[in-house]
Structure 1
Amino acid sequence: MSASSSYYVPRFDVFLSFSAEDTTTTFVSDLYRSLSEKGISTYYKDDKLEERASSFGSDIRKCLVATKTAVVVVSESYPTSVLCLNELQAILNLRDEGQLSVLLIYCGVDSSYIRKQTTEFAEPFRNLGEEYSSDKVRAWRRALTKLTSISGLDSRFWSKEAKMADLISNEISLLVTNKLNSPSTSKSDGLVALDRHMQALYELLDLKSDKEVRLVGIWGSEGVGKTTLARYAYEEMSVNFHAHMFVDNSEKNYHQHHLEPREIQEGAQTMTKSSDVIKSALGHRNGLLVIDCVDSLEQLKDIAEIVGWFGSGSRVIFTTQEKNLLDEFGVKHVYEVKSLRYDEALELFSQSAFKKKCPPTNFESLSLRAVQIASFLPLSLTILGSSLQDKDEKTWEEALQKLEGDQDKTIMEVLEKTYTRANEE
């Protein structure tokens, strides 16, 4: 048995690929510490594996396959490190095979320089050509170029790298614990990330059980996508119930749809706000009630009274920004809608700004910057993207600088004004 085959390859949740030759180690140390605090096992440094990786051995590939998630931290020395370049080839090959997810982070470098291997990277690559075969060097160059096709975070747009490390560790934590293990899918009308939200919501609703009337709260900050999720859930699940109703509480409108066995009465009608309306439509039946924008304890008490009229197996979903209401009322089943992951945020922003999933190359850095400004909030991303649609790079730069300088106002206030100005032009 060979030494290679007898060597035990450990399993990790995350594989960190980075160069230890520059200041990137500070950021990587922060990220590693944050991941460790969340109980995520992370490949950080292993002399035996690194030794084998220098010859592009099979052990590093086995480690990556077992890991499932690789975080590639590209710094100034990364593109000229043989160890990193060999790791990168293995990472990208496994990604192409669908066996590995990749999170890309640029630390103090421009993605265009990495793509073209120009400026400060030109000379080191010439030096590599003196030590390694031309085929090997070309393969490394292709890997770097291919890497830049993946959307990534840029540390230059963050004031504190430690904060960036915490964000990334939170995303990885959710991936590892299978809370976000479904790939994000773009639905109609540019809706992003609904698959993973719906998966969590289905688990809370437990539609297979018909022994109770279950109340589920959806909560989160302004603009995070609660209403979008509630509407989508209503559209997806209403077919499973004899009667269903969506209540837009912000406009005090009730949109009622009755679903009788073997017969669908299409259309919606606006009705006067009254609990009696809901009781008459859904009382003593297997029904679905979705209420958007609950902001007071009195409303929750009304909902509780209404729930008492429903038949077993019914489900009631409501959205709110007030976490204290959920605690005070003792709602047991709650789903928190958090900000989008960075890849989802970039996709949603690109759909609004360019009507495509990814930004054009010359707008890539500006788009990543815009995503940061919008705080990964769907509504903010949509407003900002729409306001910048069909604008040139100079206009983008001016708009983003203005937004970055408006620190005394909330992002929603600033973006709403931006959107209004854009529509008036």
Structure 2
Amino acid sequence: MLEIGLGVLGKASLNSNKSVRMTKSENAEVILEQWKDALQKVAKIKGSTSKNREPDVIEQIIENVRNKVGPLSLEPAEKLVDIESKLKELDVLLELESNDVLFIGIWGMGGIGKTTLAKACYERIRHKFQAESFHDGVREDSKAHGMACVQRKLSNSLMKRNIQDWAAGEAARWRSFLLQKKVLIILDDVDDSIQLRELCEKPAWFGQGSRIIITTRDERLLISHGVEKQFKVPELGKVDALKLFNLRAFPRENPPESYKALSYSFVDYASGLPLALEVLGSFLYGRDLDARSSQLRKLEGDFTLDEKIMKILITGYEGLDPQGREIFLDIACFFKGEDKDRVFEILDSCGFNPGIDIDVLMEKSLTTISDNRVRMHDLLQKKGQTIVRTSFMF
């Protein structure tokens, strides 16, 4: 009934806008008659009465309005390069029409765009849920304040409250809330299985139709938690990488002719990593051709990486055990692009366990195996070489 009534009144408003070419008196009379007619039609529409069902009726109205209004704060499309194709792939995993509780994992190397993708997805579908929360920085929050603090913040966000003390009773109240609601939760930058156990142990915790999206660098976390629906974020292709860099450096998709060759060189340096393209493009914005050329020579001529890029990249390396770190550095310095079997043979002869250790490197998005060759992103390789170079300076 609400939808029909709004439709009738909407038509009346639309028709009134068409009357602007009439005289003021004629216009007023026409508008008055249209609204009288619309209100009479609305008054005759039959609907159901609440009869002590006010909470149910209110909830139904809210759900109808939520579905009609849709997302309110999506970022301009031109700022989110190559986002639509990724969102379409996520749609397949999300199965929004299903009433099942689904866990979806988004994973990939640092700076690849996991958080950006998760935020875009969140803004686009949040209106379809009864409660929603985007919790970024799970790794940093749990490390700095403990899991009880993370649970409290997530609970407050979902339940729209501001509880400062996290007692046993609050945890039980939160669990009861989750079970009764269709919720959307984004857990961004997860790096420990304990975080998943404490925040989203199993689908039985959540109401029908709930979706829990987890972003991480570590595929193994998703596997061990039983998250079968996974999306690995790919590097940007050359065309999209150039577009992103130009939008930050100029800002427009097509730079002046005299800057084109230099733009291609920066894009080659970044090797499809969105973080690097964003940071470099923003740093070069407003600088002249000589300054940009100087920065490129600086990047190519030594082992210096931008501090922000280095901070993101170094996190995955710091999570390795000592043997994993050594193998990572060996690949960065000697084995990138080499035949996998040959690399395994050499590492094995040196007392390493390449089978499991390289598996871990792959799960943490630090290396890949393609065409039976050991691969590593150019900036990860540069980071490894920087670590080795720095260690020999002291």
Q: TM-score, normalising length from structure 1? A: 0.48
Query: Which of 79, 98, 101 is equivalent to 1:209?
Result: 98
Report the CA distance shift for 1:226/1:295 in structure 2 as closer, same or farther (over 3 A).
Answer: same
8 Å CA contact 2:299–2:305 kept in 1: the answer is no
Corresponding pairs, count: 224
Q: Distance in 1 between matches of 2:264 and 2:312?
A: 17
Q: Using a 3 Å threshold, how does the CA distance of structure 1 residues 201 and 399 change in structure 2: closer, same or farther?
A: same
Specify the alignment match of 1:290 in structure 2: 186
Aligned-partner Cα distance in 2 for 1:271–1:374: 43
Aligned residue runs from structure 1 range 195-234, under 5 A: 195-210=84-99, 212-234=100-122
SS state at 2:280 partner? helix
1:76-122 alpha-carbon deviations (Å, 9 max, x no partner): xxxxxxxxxxxxxxxxxxxxxxxxxxxxxxxxxxxxxxxxxxxxxxx
> Aligned-residue CA RMSD in angstroms?
3.2
Check whether the contact 1:349–1:382 (CA below 8 A) recurs between aligned residues: yes
Task: Tell whether 2:292 aligns with 1:403.
Answer: no
Aligned to 2:20: none
Q: How big is the shift at 1:357?
A: 1.6
Bigger radius of gyration:
2
1:37-48 → structure 2 map (5 Å cutoff): none
Matched to 1:404, the amino acid is E
Q: Distance in 2 between matches of 1:317 and 1:291?
A: 6
Matched-pair contact (CA < 8 Å) for 2:111–2:273: yes
Q: Does 1:236 align with 2:124?
A: yes
Gaps of 5+ in 2: 1-74, 142-149, 314-394
> Does residue 1:320 correspond to 2:219, yes or no?
no
Q: Which residue number in structure 1 is paired with residue 250 of structure 2?
A: 354
1:3-18 residue pairs with structure 2 within 5 A?
none
Q: Percent identity?
A: 35
Which runs of no fewer than 5 residues in structure 1 stay unpaired?
1-185, 260-264, 417-425
| Structure having the larger proportion of residues in strand | 1
Superposed counterparts of 1:93-242, under 5 Å: 187-188=76-77, 190-210=79-99, 212-242=100-130
Query: Structure 1 residues 328, 282: CA separation in 2 closer, same or farther (over 3 Å shift)?
Result: closer
Q: Which has the higher helix share?
A: 2
**Aligned-partner residue type, residue 393 of structure 1:** L
Say yes or no: does 1:389 pair with 2:285: yes
| CA distance in structure 2 between the aligned counterparts of 1:381 and 1:338, rounded to whole angstroms | 15
CA deviation string 1:278-319 (max 9, x = no partner): 636533211111110100111122244264221111100010
Larger RCO: 1 or 2 (CA < 8 Å, sep 6+):
2
Q: Say which SS state the counterpart of residue 279 (structure 2) adopts.
A: helix
Change (3 A) 1:251 1:193: same
Report the alpha carbon displacement of residue 409 of structure 1 after superposing the two structures with TM.
5.6
Cα distance in structure 2, aligned partners of 1:270 and 1:250 = 22
Distance 1:295 1:353, change over 3 A: same
* SS of structure 1 residue aligned to 2:212: strand
Over 3 Å counting, the alpha-carbon distance change for 1:205 and 1:278 in structure 2 is farther
Are residues 415 and 198 of structure 1, via their aligned partners in 2, closer, same or farther at CA, if it must alter by over 3 Å?
Answer: closer
Q: Could you tell me whether the CA contact under 8 Å between 1:403 and 1:414 is conserved in 2?
A: no
